[in-house]
Chain A
């Protein structure tokens, strides 16, 4: 099944995700949607990293009882794992801040909840 997908398909998907993410981050005024945009951007980068390490028909990079054939690269997977963990922390922190912003201003629209100007 997997070998029928063109190899650069995941890269296109990552680019598309990143494009959608940037559109949301730049043009959406709802802070929750902004956070979703950042989560999408993180997914785009993670997809890109995992796709880098993939080899068609490769095995999981575990060295015991490995069947013959190519292995996928382990390093990008380690990077992706770290990146996911970090992004969980970042997104959680952002959401707590939005909760605080809502408590103070009663709004999560960035135009209306804004206090700092000039």
Chain B
């Protein structure tokens, strides 16, 4: 058991990679065997994530060095810089790990029957496992170059999944846009890594943070990294790809591509807090993050209101909700140098922003799945042509209502808990920002209510008389998320204390991140 915990970070990334390449082979034994294999291996990975989470929350930062005599040995005797590839799992990394694993589990179960009768199923699951491995690697890595590698793994797998339905012209287009922006942003990241390596001759994030001088070149690297990750996380004004890609990706994978966007957001936080923290002008950078956040919030929701494509509307809301997270974290970053303000409201703002990531991924994943459930049954995404679906699809309607109320911040669902944290703390930082956030939330409610009335209520339409509820595995996948949304809404204090606060602490406390690797230095 102990050695399982010690090696869990490596296994969590290695097992899905192996599974991804084993699935096409196992598929030869029949789709049933393959599905059972997928569930068993992913169940085991989820178990590893759980024990690693318990370990991180009880013991502290978990460093795993590849190829060292002992996995914890970041600095071998006689070395002053870490030379080996390593994973560094702290509160924030494992928080992303929990989000990604839960969403992937729901998506995997949802896809079991969603894919029935389609071609290329084995490759679909291969890409799904690759995307999972890429995201987990991105969350766990303690090394700049592996950040780039995992970013590319996640991008290639994500683009492949987005373009999975090659019979649809728009699916290819969405996938193509995703791979283009991913390739450009990954190359910008690599450029920045080159700049950093040229100056400090190390690649480990902790060692780079330790030696950071903050020269002009470092500023350029920060600009490149910031631009690349804002592009990947679909922050306005670099959001243009997101509606297209989220719209066309098949159901189970839209939530995973969404999670991949927030993994890029995690990378942005890792850079600003852990790598550059203590050197940059935190107030200025914090305000830049806030402005990107407010723009995303406002423009995202305004673009969403008039959409008639149900998934496209949700995709614009995803951009808008991403703004809340940036707002919360931006406020935290802006006051991080001021201990009084940080204790008064900065920490709460960051808790709100981080808590909103997990809440948003869950309810937006649920909403995307309900939209795709409708598409699965009636084959259209245009809300003007839908109507009366609540009569035929009771479970889907119920899940849609839960998701729509959660995204609009209605108590007692989870969206309310994190939005309240953001409103309260941002109000004390700058009331105008808080008012904008509340206004955006109202517009969100209006736009989801509009879709609810046009798609689910109304007289039964003759064309949809024969429409049935979606198969069981899709309902189970959605209900996992629905139960979590209600649970998080009922016990927000418990969740904030157990998983959100350690993540905030991990971002604020840069010294512990550095010392976990460089601590052995004299």
Contacts and interface: CB of A to CB of B under 8 A. Distances in A.
Contacts, number: 92
A18 B192 CA distance: 13
B197 A75 contact: yes
Interface of A: 18, 25, 31, 34, 38, 41-42, 45, 48-49, 52, 75-76, 79, 82-83, 86-87, 89-90, 93-94, 97-98, 100-101, 104-105, 113-116, 118
A38 B176 CA distance: 13
Contact of B190 (A83, A98, A115): A83
Contacts of A100: 163, 166, 172
A45 B195 CA distance: 10
**Interface on chain B toward A: helix, strand, loop, or mixed SS?**
helix
B35 interface: no
Given A48-B194, A93-B156, A93-B159, A116 B179 contact: no
B248 A41 contact: no
B197 A52 contact: yes
A76 B194 contact: yes
B232 to A, nearest CB: 14
Interface stretch (B180-188, B287-295, B405-413, B486-494): B180-188
A101 B184 contact: no
B198 A94 contact: no
Contact of B187 (A42, A79, A101): A42
Given A75-B197, A79-B193, 13 more contacts: A34-B180, A42-B187, A45-B187, A45-B194, A52-B197, A75-B203, A76-B197, A82-B149, A86-B149, A86-B186, A94-B179, A94-B183, A115-B169
B171 to A, nearest CB: 9
Nearest to A43: B187
Contact of B191 (A45, A86, A90): A45
Interface in B66-117: none
B173 A114 contact: yes
Nearest to A42: B187
Contacts of A41: 184, 187
Interface in B223-272: 243-244, 247-248
Nearest to B247: A116
Contacts of A42: 183, 187
13 contacts: A18-B191, A25-B180, A38-B187, A48-B194, A49-B190, A79-B145, A82-B145, A87-B183, A90-B155, A93-B160, A100-B172, A101-B173, A118-B243
B152 A86 contact: yes
A54 B187 CA distance: 21
B174 interface: yes
A25 B173 contact: no
B40 to A, nearest CB: 29
B170 interface: yes
Contacts of A38: 180, 183-184, 187
**Which 8 A-B residue pairings sit nearest by Cβ, starting from the closest?**
A104-B169, A116-B244, A100-B172, A97-B176, A115-B170, A86-B152, A52-B198, A90-B183
Contacts of A45: 187, 190-191, 194
